[in-house]
Amino acid sequence: MHKVDFLLINPWIYDFSAHDFWLKPYGLLKLAGLLRKEGYKIYFLDLLDPFHPELPKTPKRKAYGTGHFYKEVSLKPYFFLDVPRRYFRYGLPFELFLKEISNLKFKAVMLSTTMTYWYPGLFVLIDFFAKNYPDIPIFVGGIYAKLCRAHLENFLSLYPDSRIEIASYPIENFIERLKKEFPLTGETHPHDYPSFDLYKKIPYVVLLTSLGCPFNCPYCASKKIFSKFIQRDPHLVVEEILYWNKNFNIIDFAFYDDALLVNFEKHLGVILEELLKRNIKVRFHTPNALHARFITKEAAKLLKEGGFVTIRLGLERIENRIDEKVTLEEFEEAVRNLKEAGFTAKELGAYLLYGLPEEDFKAVERALKHLEKLQVSPYLSEFSPIPGTSLFEEAKKTSRYPLSEDPLFTNKSVFPALKNPDWEEIHRIKNLARTIRKALISS
Ligand code: SF4
């Protein structure tokens, strides 16, 4: 029997689609890192791990550490029967999960989930541990727990005899509270970096150099999750990158920052200059959109020299803009600066948000064509209304679902803000984006 203090689990995803585009449970990994540094023994189980050696089929891997997850077809919720797509459970088969934990003895379980509408994977685990390990406390945290607390509490009320707690924040206070109840049994660890080394294989490492965002877009949860914008000491970020590069030979790093380029000269600029001085060859990716308005000629040059190979800019809309994070003129200037610095259409993409209440698909098409003209690869992101944001209230008026009742209704793939989604039109727009992207990348 392998004895640990805490078992930390990243749940399965139940959804129409899920891809490993640098998708890792950062918060849970960070918690593992902090607990380990204190001297707790941890077992970290990511049920999405695409490298688990006993998966019935190895998921395909793609460039820069990205790829697919293992998946099995799952029953589609009845209210999504009009959505012409299959529904899956992504992650390890249940038997493999049982095998993973069968040899473990632990004092508490810690569960987390990110997207609010991914809570079913979390609920399956809560139910499993509450019924099979009734004496073991369960702690639940993550974005869903933060944004949909009432929904979670409602579910937890089904288990009156179990000890299930919602983790408190900041995370440091939560750890202090744990220390009062659970004695330390291990050795203290030299650092508190997110515990990527607990994976069987590390194709990339995720970095978070800041919390929050100084902007407040009407569709975004950033302010709800972190009310203040705080940047880490850039020199400490450099140390973290060097640690993974030197000790684990990590080349690919993905930034999870919401506002990576803010204060460029004193923050990311310093990180890149320091790495260049040390002649460290790494590749950087920005799955979260960058703010185009901060991409000056100098910044673009440094991004190129510093190893950025995946740049995603947040444009969202061209006509009827609904945020103030960038103007079309600023976006186009950023594109000119990036191209001048040597970025190609393969490296340079922009997100377009669509599926908003009363969506005008012709305007989305015009936006795609505009990006094609600018030679920037378009990436469509479907609108998911987030509770607590002003656009959520708008979406409630136009949605065919009672959005406030269940976070599942906010799944981006069902176009929750549309009353009668025209699936053929949606399909046409998606194909158009794909065709433009392919043509730009191969040109
Ligand atoms: S700029 Fe980006 S991260 Fe910041 S509030 Fe807007 S969408 Fe959210």
DSSP string, 368-403: HHHHHHHT-EEEEEE--PPTTSHHHHHHHHH-SS-G
Interatomic CA distance for residues 16 and 73, integer angstroms: 9
pTM across the whole model: 0.96
pLDDT tens, 333-373? 999 999 999 999 999 999 999 999 999 999 999 999 999 99
Asked if the model's pLDDT at residue 321 lies above 90, the reply is no
Q: How confident is the model at residue 46 (pLDDT cuts 50, 70, 90)?
A: very high
Q: How confident is the model at residue 320 (pLDDT cuts 50, 70, 90)?
A: confident
Ligand 1 atom closest to residue 221's alpha carbon, by position in its atom list: 8
Asked if the model's pLDDT at residue 324 lies above 90, the reply is no
At 388 the pLDDT is: 85
Q: Please name the amino acid found at residue 299.
A: A
At 186 the pLDDT is: 84
Q: How confident is the model at residue 299 (pLDDT cuts 50, 70, 90)?
A: very high
Q: How many residues appear in the chain?
A: 443
Could you tell me the two tokens for 44?
A: 């970290």
Distance from the alpha carbon of residue 223 to the mean position of ligand 1, in angstroms? 8
Interatomic CA distance for residues 382 and 379, integer angstroms: 10
At 108 the pLDDT is: 98
Interatomic CA distance for residues 283 and 307, integer angstroms: 5
Asked if the model's pLDDT at residue 63 lies above 90, the reply is yes
Could you tell me the two tokens for 256?
A: 């999870």
| Mean pLDDT score across all residues of the chain | 96
pLDDT tens, 151-197? 999 999 999 999 999 998 888 899 999 999 999 998 999 999 999 99
At 19 the pLDDT is: 97
Ligand 1 binding pocket mutation candidate from 147, 211, 231, 258 (most atoms within 8 A of CB): 258
Q: Which residue segments constitute the domains of the chain, with CATH numbers given?
A: 2-181 (3.40.50.280), 198-442 (3.20.20.70)
3-state secondary structure of 50: coil
Q: Could you tell me where the DSSP H helices lie in 182-311?
A: 222-225, 234-248, 268-277, 297-306
Could you tell me the two tokens for 362?
A: 């012709």
At 322 the pLDDT is: 87
Is 411 within 8 Å of 16 (Cβ atoms)? yes
Q: Which residues have CB under 6 Å of ligand 1?
A: 213, 215-217, 220, 222, 258-259, 314, 323, 325
- Residue whose entry in the numeric block shows the structure tokens 């999405």: 48
